[in-house]
Copies of this chain bind each other. A is one copy, B any other.
Amino acid sequence: MKALSTLITVDNAIKLLANYLKELVILDVETVNVLDAVGRVLAEDVYASIDRPEEDISAVDGYAVNSLDTTGASYYNPVRLAVKVVYDPLKKQGNLCVEPGTAIKVHTGWPLPCNANAVVMSEDVEVKNGFITVHRPVAAGTNVIYRGEDFKRGELLATRGTVIKPPLIAALAASGIDKVKVYRKINISIIAIGDELVEPGKEKAPGKVYDSSSYIVFSMMQKDGVFNVKYPNIVRDDVNELEDAVLREFERGVDVVVTTGGTGISESDIIADFVEKRGKFIFRGVRMRPGRPTSSSVLDHKYLLIHFSGFPVAAWAGYEVLFRMAVIEWLGIRGLDRLSIYARLSRRVPNVVGYKSIVRVAVFEHGGEFYAEPYMLRGSGVISSLLRTNGYVIIPEDVEGFEENTRVKVYMYE
């Protein structure tokens, strides 16, 4: 099998693919409203344009005081402070000050009046006849948020490549920023290849099967938020038909064409025939299981294609541990990594040395500890292996397997 000898490692495939993406796909920058930016990838570093807060403010509802006025206050020797003026921070009261022996009522977020350096919480004072009674000394700075404590003008809030999440949107908004530059979404077309394939929802003759591999790739890409994916199309096992379909997509301006199926790494491999005719393989087959047939090619020296297996779990693996990692590397994306946990394997999982195994596991919690139950390894066509698990473990190429009870890192599905 000539193809077998050319299989490369997952890491090398990611690097190669990231380089080709960098070279062949020009990803313009677009400006969007921050309210539409959630999940998008920042194409610029963003900085705070103001101090936040812009003045020293109260962190609580209470009374602004000068801490010196509370020195020596105790339960038996409380300090009484007169509350004489009504303060409204939105009205011009620039010269309103806490005079010695007085306090001024403030609400959370209000700028401190002049001479105040601390705030006593409403709960902690007695209010009577225009006076508050304080039973404890209050240190300077108590319940005060200082100017610029949240962030300072010019402070870096996030760097290019960051996936925009709600806290960053809040920080941008608080800084007065309503628009950000993000990378446009990567335009993807998916073509499912196979004479046996029938589109879900249509009548199916015996012996044919419903397409599901392109569906899992489509929905994973959609969920990741950085792609703009067209509904998948089915193409027969015919090189000319495939060629027409692929060229049509690139002529429409698509960035990458994804295929599922047709990658047997065997003599009847339609992808190989197609690539031979118009382009070259970047790599053909990867040392991973499932997902071994995952390949990538370049057409007419300019069009980039990624080829996933026709089996849903293998297509999933090709996307999950290879293509999306290449996109992350390409754009330097931070914030698309899967969350990971540590768990103990409930039983041994073997590995074929030289291959990276992606072992689907069902993580469960027992007595404050996470355990991972590996799903049977075979059957890259068995969708229930994904449906009944919630994460995966990666066994590196140089390891024969993990023993029962090994503490492993599990990447959780989202």
| CA gap between A232 and B218 in the complex, in Å | 32
Cβ contacts A to B, 10 pairs, < 8 Å: A35-B231, A53-B209, A59-B379, A90-B195, A149-B382, A170-B212, A174-B209, A175-B210, A176-B210, A178-B200
| CA gap between A109 and B262 in the complex, in Å | 12
Within 8 A of B (CB), among A281-311: 310-311
Q: Return the chain B residue nearest A363 by Cβ.
A: B339
Complex contacts, A107 vs chain B, CB 8 Å: 264, 266, 268
Once A53-B381, A212-B171 are accepted as A-B contacts, the answer to whether A223 and B34 lie under 8 Å apart by CB is no
Within 8 A of B (CB), among A220-247: 220, 222-223, 231-232
Complex contacts, A212 vs chain B, CB 8 Å: 170-171, 173-174
Contact B57 A170 (CB under 8 A): no
Q: Which of A107, A122, A201, A379 has the most CB of B within 10 A?
A: A379
A15 lies within 8 A of chain B by Cβ: no
Contact B412 A166 (CB under 8 A): no
Total copies of this chain within the assembly: 2
**B-contact bits for A376-400, CB 8 A (1 contact / 0 none):** 0011111110110000000000000
Contact B109 A311 (CB under 8 A): yes
| CA gap between A264 and B105 in the complex, in Å | 13
Among the listed B59, B61, B166, B407, which residue makes an inter-chain contact with A219, where contact means beta carbons less than 8 Å apart? Answer: B166
Shortest C-beta distance, A179 to chain B (Å), equals 7
Once A174-B312, A266-B107, A316-B166 are accepted as A-B contacts, the answer to whether A34 and B215 lie under 8 Å apart by CB is yes
Report the count of interface residues on A (CB-CB < 8 A).
Answer: 93
| CA gap between A149 and B266 in the complex, in Å | 26
Within 8 A of B (CB), among A103-158: 107-109, 111, 122-123, 143, 145, 149-151, 157-158
Contact B167 A179 (CB under 8 A): no
Contact A379 B149 (CB under 8 A): yes
Once A39-B223, A195-B90, A412-B339 are accepted as A-B contacts, the answer to whether A166 and B310 lie under 8 Å apart by CB is no
Complex contacts, A108 vs chain B, CB 8 Å: 264, 311, 380-381
